[in-house]
Chain A
């Protein structure tokens, strides 16, 4: 049985700069997998290559045994990989309900052909409500998304991503911009996404307590290269990891 996500020798060069160099790892079904590294380590580039935002220079990404490297971001989304963004990405002038409905419409009616060949995508109201409740937005369905607090807008981003019932959810710094209590909630939510909805999670994050407390396994990258891979305890004890972070004000909680 192939792993859910298999990354093999992934490389991304921008001109002369090698942002990601021969990174390999795999994520099993039901795992919460974290990628960390100092600033400029290539985490975000790695994330964007997997999400189809960049085309890899070399190596492969496979989902459930199928090679998806070089596919466009929307193709990858349709194959069951959802993503959230580091900054807030919502349709700000529309209500929370309309945002969640659009997530469904954009996926099911993804092209003119899909639009005209399938029956109208009836978004089940109770499913929309369940997703809203899950991310804590059940009471604000009728409010414009742009007017919500930053933390709630990030929750809406997660809500829109899980409307698709993805197999794998890629999260780009879910804790960025959140206060400490919101960070704790985000950590709990990530666990609930896996435990209650069965969604496998790959996250890139700066916030050490969140990563250490939430992830099953962690990949540490530095200067585009894999440095260490293991459980939070193994990674924390790894001499090369401590070395890479030396001089930086990181708290391994």
Chain B
């Protein structure tokens, strides 16, 4: 029930950019809606007990994929976006059987290396990806009869995508898949002895999380209109970890709150740019020590008291 109030609060918050107005406010709001699916894609992996540092790489594949499919092959943007995400998902499904046999810190390192390799490909294959000079000339997103040109258009698009991903993940959490994930986390040996193919569940989850990251990348590409490899680097993973830790990893709503809180932070702290990482670090330490369950737990407790 309380989740419903928080969702209402978020919906009210989503109207804020129209009240405040201005391109820049819409830009920030749109970036939040791009980061929400990203944070959720990392959260999905955390649900199976794996921290994946490869999510920005999958976002990049979705972004470059959408861009190149529209520019080079003339795909309609919607189809290009879906294809880009599917390519990201397919790549995850391809490397998954290898990666997901590995657990814990080794999996983190492996996905880190994988992310760096993908990023290097973006940087070095200049004829295709434009290298560090970037990839220009990405057309605006359009479907027949509708062309998204203004930041507020992309904000609405982002809201829809975030809501869709959130809704899907909530459904999954409440379904038997949620029970299966829980079982595999609690007692993998028992779950496997009962017949559960743990590896195939992990691969499926990895592919789904890459697909979500790919969609987010597609939206980013059409919104920004220009791609450069550093947007999909290690720093994005750090942001996603901070968002998940501060928002709370235990629920689907946690990362959503985390993204709403963290994404605008660099802008609010603009005056203190050199202290930004420091403030990140302090926030993270405070949350990990005092608010293990994240923002979501704080909000829910307040509601319970009221």
Interface residues, chain A, CB within 8 Å of chain B? 51, 53, 72-75, 77-78, 82-83, 85, 89-93, 98, 102-103, 105-107, 109-113, 115, 120-121, 160-161, 164
- Which of B112-120, B193-201, B261-269 interfaces with chain A? B193-201
Q: Would you call B190 an interface residue if the criterion is a C-beta within 8 Å of the partner chain's C-beta atoms?
A: yes
Give the Cβ gap from B127 to chain A, nearest Cβ, in Å.
37
4 smallest beta-carbon distances between A and B, as pairs: A112-B204, A107-B195, A111-B200, A77-B195
- Bound-state CA distance A51–B194 (Å) is 11
B180 within 8 A of A: yes
CB contacts (< 8 Å) of B192 on chain A: these are 72-74, 77
The answer to the question of B109 belonging to the interface, with a C-beta cut-off of 8 Å to chain A, is: no
B274 within 8 A of A: no
Interface centre among B180, B182, B196 (most CB of A within 10 A): B196
CB-defined A-B contacts under 8 Å, sample of 25: A72-B192, A74-B193, A74-B196, A74-B198, A77-B192, A77-B194, A78-B195, A82-B194, A93-B186, A102-B194, A105-B180, A106-B183, A106-B191, A106-B194, A106-B196, A107-B194, A107-B195, A107-B196, A109-B176, A109-B180, A110-B195, A112-B204, A115-B176, A160-B194, A161-B194
Contact flags B191-223 to A (C-beta < 8 A → 1, else 0) = 111111110110010000000000000000000
Q: Please tell me if the beta carbons of A74 and B195 are within 8 angstroms of each other in the complex.
A: yes
Q: Is the interface of B mostly helix, strand, loop or mixed?
A: helix
B169-193 interface bits toward A, Cβ cutoff 8 Å, 1 = contact, 0 = none: 0000000110110110011011111
**Given A91-B183, A109-B176, also A73-B201 (CB < 8 A):** no
Residues of chain B within 8 A of A107, CB atoms compared: 194-196
Q: Quick check: A164 and B190 within 8 Å, CB to CB? A: no
A72 CA to B199 CA, complexed, in Å? 11
Let me know if A91 and B176 touch, CB within 8 A: no
Q: Select which of B177, B183, B189 is within 8 A of A115 by beta carbon.
A: B177
Q: Which residues of B contact A161 (CB under 8 A)?
A: 193-194
Least CB separation from B176: chain A residue: A105
B194→A164 contact, CB < 8 A: yes
State which of A89, A91, A112 has its C-beta within 8 Å of the C-beta of B201.
A112
Is B177 a contact partner of A51 (Cβ separation < 8 A)? no
Contacts of B196 in A (CB 8 A): 74, 106-107, 110
A103, B179: Cα distance in complex, Å: 11
Distance (Å) between the CB of A153 and the closest chain B CB? 12
Q: Assess the B189–A112 pair: CB atoms within 8 A.
A: no
Bound complex: CA A72 to CA B179 (Å): 22
Q: What residue of chain A has the Cβ atom nearest to residue B205's Cβ?
A: A112
A73:B197 contact, CB within 8 angstroms: no
What are the residues of chain A within 8 A of B176 when measuring CB–CB? 105, 109, 115, 120-121
Q: In the complex, A103→B183 CA distance in Å?
A: 10
Complex alpha-carbon distance, A110 and B192, angstroms = 9
Report Cα–Cα, A89/B195, bound state, in Å: 15
Give Cα distance in the complex from A241 to B177, angstroms: 50
Residues of A within 8 A of B190 (CB): 85, 89-91, 160
Q: Do B201 and A103 touch across chains, with their CB atoms under 8 A apart?
A: no
In the bound assembly, the distance between CA atoms of A189 and B193 in angstroms comes to 21
Are A91 and B197 in contact, with the CB atoms below 8 A?
Answer: no
Could you tell me the distance between the alpha carbons of A195 and B193 in the complex, rounded to whole angstroms? 24
Closest to A120 in B: B176
B181 to chain A, nearest CB (A): 11
What is the CB-to-nearest-CB distance from A106 to chain B, in angstroms, rounded to a whole number?
A: 4
Decide if B186 touches A51 in the complex (CB within 8 Å): no
Minimal beta-carbon separation of B69 from chain A (angstroms): 26
A175 to B90, CA, bound (A): 48
A113 to chain B, nearest CB (A): 7
Q: How far is the CB of A237 from chain B (nearest CB, A)?
A: 36
Residue pair B193, A73 in contact (C-beta under 8 Å): yes
Q: Which of B138-191 contact A (CB under 8 A)?
A: 176-177, 179-180, 182-183, 186-187, 189-191
B191's nearest neighbour on chain A, judged by CB, is A106
> What are the residues of chain A within 8 A of B177 when measuring CB–CB?
109, 115
In the assembled complex, the CB of A78 is this many whole angstroms from the nearest CB of chain B, namely 5
A35 to chain B, nearest CB (A): 18
B197: A residues at CB distance < 8 A: 74-75, 78, 110-111
Residues in A neighbouring B183, C-beta threshold 8 A: 91, 102, 106
**CB-based contact A83/B193 at 8 Å:** yes
Contact A89 B200 (CB under 8 A): no
Q: Establish whether residues B204 and A89, one from each chain, have CB atoms under 8 Å apart when the complex forms.
A: no
B223 to chain A, nearest CB (A): 31
Q: Give Cα A92–Cα B186 distance, bound, in whole angstroms.
A: 9
A residues in contact with B179, CB < 8 Å: 98, 102, 105
Residues of A within 8 A of B204 (CB): 111-112
